[in-house]
């Protein structure tokens, strides 16, 4: 069964970027510490990354995050989605208007202009098709940014919330859960490493 999984790294004080994020500084000042775990050699960190990306049938992201990853300082062969761990899933971008051009033209991009729910539905179709082709269940992953993940939680679109809690206090930045619709969560897994505490919840 295809699940909708919100997967994002967050600081101890609840921020998914540091202050002043932008196209040339996607994670904001100090925000790179949020993703230290993703480049760690710790076997548990590697397993978390490998298992999550291996189940990715399609990935949803917002326009601001797309502008960062497709920008001149964005993804490359070593820092792309699950680099070194997974093939290239379909990517679905929520946006008011598609970009005129795409730098990462070797990736499968779909731009949805009719809202987040439609983007998630489009991603589900792609993930279900990929599941059929591969013979195993693949998920839709909401990778961010924070506003996209938060809006999906508010709208009841998320089945599973996967947080990578980084041991850093950023003080300010882009909050993940402030002012959100109340949701009941059921904790499923906790994996602690030296670089993060990986938490998985079912969302009700």
Please provide the CATH number assigned to the domain covering 4-203: 3.40.430.10
Helix (H) or strand (E) holding 202, with range, is: strand 197-203
Helix (H) or strand (E) holding 56, with range, is: strand 56-62
User: Is the previous residue joined to 68 through a cis bond, with omega within 30 degrees of 0?
Assistant: no
Structure-block tokens of residue 84: 């070194």
Q: What is the mean pLDDT of the chain?
A: 92
Could you write out the DSSP letters of every residue in 64-109?
HHHHHHTSTTS--TTTSTTTTT----EEEEE-SS--S--S-TTS-E
Count of positions (residues) in the chain:
204
pLDDT in tens, 88-138: 899 999 999 999 999 998 889 999 999 999 999 999 999 999 999 999 999
Contacts 24+ apart (CB under 8 A), 153-157: 153/6, 153/177, 153/180, 153/181, 153/183, 153/203, 154/180, 154/181, 155/116, 155/117, 157/4, 157/116, 157/117, 157/120
**Band of the pLDDT at 76, cuts 50, 70, 90?**
confident
- Determine the pLDDT at residue 34: 96
Lowest-confidence region among 58-62, 72-76, 157-161: 72-76
- Determine the pLDDT at residue 85: 57
Structure-block tokens of residue 60: 């949803």
Can you give the pTM of this predicted structure?
0.92
The yes-or-no verdict on residue 22 having pLDDT over 80 is no
Q: Which residues pair with 99 in a beta bridge?
A: none
């Amino acid at each position: 069964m295809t699940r909708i999984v919100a997967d994002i790294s967050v600081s101890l004080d609840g921020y998914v970027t540091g202050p002043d994020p932008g196209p040339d500084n996607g994670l904001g000042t100090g925000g790179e510490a949020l993703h230290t775990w993703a480049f760690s050699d710790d076997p548990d960190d590697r397993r978390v990354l490998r298992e999550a990306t291996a189940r990715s049938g399609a990935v949803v992201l917002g326009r601001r995050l797309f502008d960062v990853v497709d920008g001149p300082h964005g993804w490359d062969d070593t820092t792309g989605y699950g680099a070194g761990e997974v093939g290239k899933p379909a990517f679905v971008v929520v946006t008011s208007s598609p970009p005129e051009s795409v730098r990462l033209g070797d990736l499968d991009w779909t731009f949805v202009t009719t809202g987040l729910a439609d983007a998630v539905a489009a991603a589900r179709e792609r993930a279900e098709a990929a599941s059929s082709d591969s013979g195993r269940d693949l998920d839709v992953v909401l990778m961010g940014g924070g506003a996209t993940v938060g809006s999906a939680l508010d709208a009841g679109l998320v089945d599973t919330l996967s947080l990578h809690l980084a041991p850093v206090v950023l003080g300010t930045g882009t909050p993940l859960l402030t002012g959100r619709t109340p949701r009941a969560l059921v904790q499923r897994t906790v994996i602690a490493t030296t670089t993060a505490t990986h938490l998985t919840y079912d969302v009700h």
